[in-house]
Structure 1
């Protein structure tokens, strides 16, 4: 596994622990972050031994969002022509979007463990995850409005399906900070723990539970849920019928049925 500037990555018991590793910079998302996260999730896709991903931040905070120094470097590339500047900015934004699309489109479940600050671009990131969990000290904010821009890396597109349209509008228009208790109440996070250590232990426990299931069944379940964001119920039923016409022939089904009948724990191939 490659060494990364912005991340540390460990694979244990079929769980890839992907940790943003810039604690001295409050895990701000620098230039290396945006390219490395694509590389990491391509590795996740290509590695059958990885069944679940846990995404966390090193130190006291999950992430303070996009590194402002990186934004300044983009501004330094501007010339005098408005059209060319717009084309440059659009290309940069699409590149950043691709980084979090890699998380969203990963065929394996991605669980976010959030402590401390989760601000701006960090909200975009956790919106691309399957599930989100928080420590009691977590602080969330869709911060882009306070620097005079609309969030453009996925928050405004993904969060309405997670917390609802009205609540997203309030948080995006005001940029206010809210804590773990409210995040739990509005459905942004699934569960909370009292501290960061308990949070990580708890999320890894959920990840182990998922990793013990059939990887074929987990991947199919994620694919069906993701498909339904943009399709009708009838489309989804047609798709799952076609999908399972192949997947129900997997050995995993026989393994699971035999284990259930004998009250044994099933062991699935990667």
Structure 2
């Protein structure tokens, strides 16, 4: 598939999804939002993909929503104020959908972040499974400085990733959080001295995941997401039902046989 605002490559079951508007600091226009949703929905169904790495070309990871798109969001040709508000609400849902597609993708998504991760960029990485950054990366919930409330998922997901007090501090102040601090507060798993080192290490992690049972990896993501949003009792009930359906698989047999034969498992 060819895209206007992204680069996409697939090799050894690892998909590399790269923001490709470096001249705009990878700010996302309407085309980019549409393509992001299409990409993650397509990769979800692609059996040649077991893990996804999300990164950005140029100096920055992602500057969030393109200002031109933001300025046009509320300009609907409706005389009725109620209908204008209704269309605005629908537009917010449309902008949330591509980020939801990242979280709902059955394959793990790893964000590799350098430079700025600004506004909507934070919404995006909050929907990823894991985050890694360079030391000189910075993260900022910029909406507060634009007279806005972040509305694409940051406030729903970020307080479940980092301490709620830190999430509130970022939200209220809009200050920059460096890559080193991001690692310390748990926003990223690890910070690296430069982008080249980060990319190499992230690829190693992705390849490690890609070598596991794809059925088990997809199930693990589904269970982790469900457990995050439900009680322990609900999570255990869902887990029992999941394994009743998925446990007895060819992957399970291959894992056992590989262990007995002292070889690496090969999953189809």
TM over 0.5: yes
Alpha-carbon deviations, 1:46-83, whole Å to 9, x = none?
11110000000011210111100111222443555432
Partner of 1:138: 137
Secondary structure, aligned partner of 1:112: strand
2:223 aligned partner: 224
Residue 4 (structure 1) aligned with residue 12 (structure 2)? no
Aligned Cα RMSD in Å? 1.1
| Number of aligned residue pairs | 268
What's the counterpart of residue 169 of structure 2?
170
Q: CA deviation at 1:167?
A: 1.0
Q: Deviations over 1:164-194 (max 9, x none)?
A: 2111111100000110111001100001111
Alpha-carbon distance in 2 for matches of 1:99, 1:181: 28
Q: Which residue of 2 aligns with 1:26?
A: 25
Task: Kindly state the Cα deviation for residue 230 of structure 1 after the two structures are TM-superposed.
Answer: 1.8
- Which shifted more, 79-88 or 36-45? 79-88
Could you tell me which residue of structure 2 aligns to residue 214 of structure 1? 213
Unpaired runs of 5+ residues, structure 1, are: none
State the partner residue of 1:243: 242
* Counterpart position of 1:158: 157
Alpha-carbon distance, 1:235 to partner: 1.1
Q: Which runs of 4+ in 1 moved over 6 A?
A: none
Shift of 1:263: 2.0
TM-score if structure 1 supplies the norm length? Answer: 0.97
CA distance in 2, matches of 1:55, 1:194: 19
Structure 2 CA distance for aligned equivalents of residues 65 and 230 of structure 1: 26
Find out whether 1:46 has 2:45 as its counterpart. yes
Could you tell me how far apart the structure 1 residues matched to 2:133 and 2:19 are? 16
Query: Which residue of the partner structure matches residue 180 of structure 2?
Result: 181
Moved more, 148-157 or 222-231: 222-231
Q: Deviations over 1:9-40 (max 9, x none)?
A: 00000011000001111000111111111110
2:228 match: secondary structure: coil
After TM superposition, the score normalised by the length of structure 2 is: 0.97
Segments of structure 2 that go 5 or more residues without pairing to the other structure are none
Q: Kindly provide the CA deviation profile for residues 213-239 of structure 1, in whole angstroms up to 9, marking residues without a partner as x.
A: 000110111111000122111111111
Q: In the alignment, which residue of structure 2 is the partner of 1:112?
A: 111
Post-superposition CA distance 1:96-121 (Å, at most 9, x none): 01110000111110000000000000
CA distance in 2, matches of 1:54, 1:17: 5
Say which SS state the counterpart of residue 161 (structure 2) adopts: helix
How far off its partner does 1:246 sit? Answer: 2.1
More displaced stretch, 147-156 vs 33-42: 33-42
